[in-house]
Amino acid sequence: MTETTLTELLGYQLVQVCKAHRNKAESLLSEIGLHAGQEVVLHYLWHEDGRTQSNLVDELCVQPATVTKSLDRLESAGLVRRRADAEDRRVSRVYLTDAGRSLHRQIGNIWLEVEAASFGVLTAEEQETIRRLLQKVLKNLKQ
Amino acid sequence: MTETTLTELLGYQLVQVCKAHRNKAESLLSEIGLHAGQEVVLHYLWHEDGRTQSNLVDELCVQPATVTKSLDRLESAGLVRRRADAEDRRVSRVYLTDAGRSLHRQIGNIWLEVEAASFGVLTAEEQETIRRLLQKVLKNLKQ
DNA sequence: GCCGTTTAGTTAGCCAACTAAGTAAATTTT
DNA sequence: AAAATTTACTTAGTTGGCTAACTAAACGGC
């Protein structure tokens, strides 16, 4: 039989796992008023404050419009602030507010909890294996 | 240093891979006028036509509201049709139209192409390994 | 029969992601 | 210097996903 059974494909498994992973993250992040994805923006700002939106676009691997909307909400929530660049007036730089900075530790803990709830069941060796395989797949998909 | 570096977490790798996988699927599906996710609904109907929406909710692991909206669009696109169940008037059954049925083969080919573009780089043994590990993670996340 | 509960879907509204089209500023070309 | 192009970001509109609140029908106990 040549019928393609979707549920047997690795891509289907991947999507299932990713959905469950996102739900777990979403559920924990909602406790501090965030949505999955927003914490990644904050992460890059903790690592380097005052990034340009273009830089966030590159780091997050999403479209400019996605960053614009996401920042609109983070700004409304009082977690970041946009200021025009002094030298290039096209450029908008993004800065953390105190409220945004203060979430650092809580979000770090949430990540660790999600990581444990997902991959904690794997042995150290299995974790290294899945990391290697995921990277191989990502490289294949991105080229 | 105890700082949690997001990008080193397996969850981050997983999300990256899943995003790239979805983009690949979306790009191929758009050629036949579909969006990623809609083809999964069609898949379950090919497997068994006339399912109830509740059944689709269970199979797809999404919320009832998500199915409602998705079916609204598939119905507008002329790919499925809803008819009330004769015995239980709360129940809405979903049937493929000829147009919906006709996409079967094309979508099967797209799946195989996405699968190859993602996991084709892995050896058969590696594919079995990642399947086993993903299932382990999924089980962990779902309990 | 009647009232309360459960079940099946819908509606409204929110967020992340996308595309496409548009504005504005800087840069490059002529 | 003026025109064309590129770069940075926004706006409008789409989809997949979610929650919360809602309607309607079936089921259960009394």
Residues A90 and A142 in one domain: no
**Chain D nucleotides reached by a protein CB under 7 Å:** 7-21, 24-27
Residue B82: CATH number of its domain: 1.10.10.10
Contact between B99 and B93 under an 8 Å Cβ cutoff? The reply is no
Contact A136 B120 (CB under 8 A): no
pLDDT of residue A3: 62
Mark the ranges of chain B whose per-residue pLDDT is less than 70: 1-4
Spacing of B122 CA from D18 C1' in Å? 34
Counted across chains A and B, CB pairs separated by less than 8 A come out at 144
Residues B83 and B97 in one domain: yes
Q: Judge whether B122 is closer than 8 Å to chain A, CB to CB.
A: yes
Residue B4 lies in a domain: no
Residues A85 and A129 in one domain: no
Contact, A118 CB vs strand D, < 7 Å: no
pLDDT of residue A100: 96
Mark the ranges of chain A whose per-residue pLDDT is less than 50: 1
Contact B118 A16 (CB under 8 A): no
Q: Is B66 helix (H, G, I), strand (E, B) or coil?
A: helix
pLDDT of residue B4: 67
Domain count, chain A: 2
Map tokens 């006339």 to a residue.
Answer: B50
Residues A58 and A16 in one domain: no
Interface test with B, best of A137, A139, A142, A143 (most B CBs within 10 A): A137
DSSP string of A16-48?
HHHHHHHHHHHHHHGGGT--TTHHHHHHHHHHS
Q: Judge whether A1 is closer than 8 Å to chain B, CB to CB.
A: no
The pLDDT tens digits for B97-112 are 999 999 999 999 999 9
pLDDT of residue A76: 96
* Parent domain of A140: 10-34+103-143
pLDDT of residue A18: 96
Residues B30 and B44 in one domain: no
Residues A91 and A108 in one domain: no
Residues B54 and B96 in one domain: yes
Residue A69 lies in a domain: yes
pLDDT of residue B1: 43
pLDDT of residue B142: 85
Q: Where are the beta strands (DSSP E) in chain A?
A: 51-52, 80-84, 92-96
Residues B30 and B42 in one domain: no
Q: Is A11 helix (H, G, I), strand (E, B) or coil?
A: helix
Q: How far is B5 from chain A (nearest CA, A)?
A: 8
Spacing of B27 CA from C18 C1' in Å? 11
As beta bridge partners, residue B80 has B96
pLDDT of residue B3: 62
Residue A19 lies in a domain: yes
Query: Which positions ≥6 away from A132 have C-beta within 8 Å?
Result: none
Residue B137 lies in a domain: yes
Contact between A79 and A97 under an 8 Å Cβ cutoff? The reply is yes
